Structure formats: structure tokens, C-alpha cells
Structure 1
Amino acid sequence: MRGTKPSMKQDSEAITKVRPAPKWLSDDARSEWRRVLPILIGRKILTVGDLGSLENYCVAIGQVRETERVIQTEGMFYQGEHGPKRHPATAIQAEATTRARLLAAELGLTPVSRSRPAIRDDDDADASLD
């Protein structure tokens, strides 16, 4: 790909002040909230309507971190009745990782999502139909 990457479209209703993480989030999820919220505010792309996606992203990251601690402590496998079995935390971690990756892309937190063209304004779309 050549040229410069388009910038993400800033939203006129974007959140401009850091908000505290919801109290119900786990410690790991709150930590991720505190890490990414200032980034999203600085890009002026996060609105009140996006907070649910941000919460879900943080929950997923929290689950990834929690399951990693379990796997580090207990191991990826355990001895089942018929031989080695994958630890159940590995499946939970895989699901949470996928969910976090998809939500990160929606929120513009991945390099690929930031390189995609911004959505055009409705006025721009209408003008192209003339």
C-alpha cells in the first residue's frame, strides 16, 4: 500500500473527559479501561453509545489475563481418565481473545482498523448519488 493512511473520522459527539471504569469490572478489566480510554478520547472517536463495546472489550481482555494466570499456575493440560486433556481455561481464553480482537477492531485499537478509510458523512454519500 502506498501513500498516507487516512485518519479516523472524529465524532462531534465524542467523549472528551476520562471517565472512571465501571465498578463491576474486574481489576484486569479496569486496568485495560484506564489504559485505552485516554487513547480513544485523544482520537475523538468514542461516544457514549460506544461505551458498551468498550466495557465488553475490557471484560474480554480481563478474561484473557485471568485465564492466562490460571494456565500459568495449573498448566495447559491435566491428566484425564483417558490421558492428557486441555485445561478448560484454554477454551475460555481462546474465546475471550477472539472477542477482544473483534471489539478492538471495532474501537479502532488495531493497526489494521486504523488504516481503513473513515466512514463518509451522509452528505458526502448523497453528493455522490447526484
Structure 2
Amino acid sequence: MKKTAPTWINDTAKKEWRRVVKLIIEENKEIEDKDLKTLETYCVNYAKWQKCEALLDSEGFTFETPNGYIQQRPEVAIANKAQERMLAAAKELGLTPASRSRMNKQKMVLIDENYDDELEDMIAHDA
């Protein structure tokens, strides 16, 4: 797995890349080359979401137009969309509690598929 972040993503996205890769390594999980675009998507949208949230914290959710109307800042919609994309990618990478739970259930199903009824019956009858 490529452990270094792509050069084209911004510093916030690179920092998040390093954090996620570290978590994946610590959990002894693997990300294949085909998963890297999903990780990129997650990190880029994380950075975009964080930037918009910081601006909204300092400037507020609305602004007054030159005509005196109050409008929602475009960053609200940008932040919401980035968060949606970030969470979708996080689920694909197994970074959310629900996605990890589903992955663990899939592992259990694979283990159960290897269950040998005949062998289990022989062992149970000998006991």
C-alpha cells in the first residue's frame, strides 16, 4: 500500500491521510491500490468540510446581500456535500462503527461457511 499522500492534495488532506493510514496499519487492515482513490476522496472532502466549517464558525451561516436580503452562505451547501462524500468514503474504507460492524459480520459468515457439520457431529458423539 502506498503510505504517502498524493502530492496534489492540500496539507489538511495530507494530515488526515497520514492519520487514517496509521489507524489502518495499527488495526492490521489492508488497503489495496484500488482503494486509494476512495481514501483520496475521503481526505479531500474532509479538508473541504473542515475549511467550510471553520469559515462558518467565524462568519456565520448567513450574509446580507447588497439589496439587504439575508441569504445562506454557499459554504453551508459545500460543507454538507463534502460531509456526505466524506462519510460515504469512510464507510467504504471501514472507518465508521456501522461499517466495521458489517465487516465483522461478513467475517463471521465466512467463518461459518467453513463450519463442518459432519466433523462437529463426530466430535459431539464421542464426548
The amino acid of 2:81's aligned partner reads: E
Alignment of 1:68-87 (within 5 A): 68-80=53-65, 81=67, 83-87=69-73
Which of 17, 21, 25 is residue 5 of structure 2 equivalent to? 21
How far is the alpha carbon of 1:82 from its aligned partner?
5.4
- Percent of residue pairs identical: 36
Deviation track 1:28-62 (CA, whole Å, cap 9, x = no partner) reads 11111011111123332311110110011000000
Equivalent residue pairs, number: 106
TM-score, length of structure 2 as denominator length: 0.75
Q: Is the partner of 2:63 in helix, strand or coil?
A: strand
Query: Partners in 2 of 1:49 and 1:29 — Cα distance?
Result: 19
1:34 matches 2:18: yes
1:57 matches 2:42: yes
What RMSD over aligned residues (CA atoms) do the two structures have, in Å? 1.8
The amino acid of 2:33's aligned partner reads: V
Q: Tell which structure's C-alpha radius of gyration is larger.
A: 2
Residue matched to 2:87: 101
Structure 2: 5+ residue stretches without partners: 114-127
Query: Partners in 2 of 1:90 and 1:23 — Cα distance?
Result: 28
Deviation track 1:102-122 (CA, whole Å, cap 9, x = no partner) reads 11000000000000123777x
Query: Partners in 1 of 2:93 and 2:7 — Cα distance?
Result: 21
The amino acid of 1:106's aligned partner reads: E
Structure 1: 5+ residue stretches without partners: 1-14, 125-130
Deviation track 1:73-105 (CA, whole Å, cap 9, x = no partner) reads 222100123521100001000000000011100
Q: Is the partner of 2:106 in helix, strand or coil?
A: coil
Greater relative contact order, per chain length (Cα 8 Å cut-off, separation 6+)? 1
The amino acid of 1:101's aligned partner reads: L
Residue matched to 2:106: 118
The amino acid of 1:59's aligned partner reads: V
Query: Partners in 2 of 1:84 and 1:77 — Cα distance?
Result: 6
Which of 43, 47, 70 is residue 28 of structure 2 equivalent to? 43
